[in-house]
Amino acid sequence: MSYQKEDLIKYRLEKSAITFNEAKSLAKSGFWGGCANRLYYSCFYCVTALLVKDDVSASTHNGVRTEFFRRYIKTEILDREYSSLYTNLMSKRQESDYDDFLEFKQEDILPLIEEVEKFLQIIRAQIESK
């Protein structure tokens, strides 16, 4: 099945929004590892929508991060803080998924929710401006 580019962008942005809401629900329940995971994926889906908009292909999580940095941060289209946030979330997601005996606390994750919300708004605005 083939999809139109705009359909894929819309789908990924919707998936990003749903995943962000999942993160907020997990935070309310105190599931900080799950919240970190969903915050990362919310950003991941949004960034992949931006890459699709610009006809950029990346097949791995590291590839998405590399292309995001190369095309939007290094060129100063977006502020460096967004690359730092994305990398931090990616690390937390990997730690949460793969490190034994790691338990995130509220103070580790709760401040990231507001940062991610801003990140998503900035990426969506970038997509809409093209």
Digit-coded pLDDT (tens) for 37-90: 999 999 999 999 999 999 999 999 999 999 999 999 999 999 999 999 999 999
**Percentage of the chain lying above the pLDDT 90 cut:** 95
Model-level pTM greater than 0.85?
yes
CATH code assigned at 41? 1.20.120.330
Domain extent, residue 23, equals: 5-128
Overall domain count for the chain: 1
Distance of alpha carbon 31 from alpha carbon 28, whole angstroms: 8
Neighbours of 31 (CB within 10 A): 16
Distance of alpha carbon 37 from alpha carbon 49, whole angstroms: 18
Q: Is 59 left (phi over 0), alpha (psi -120 to 50) or beta?
A: alpha
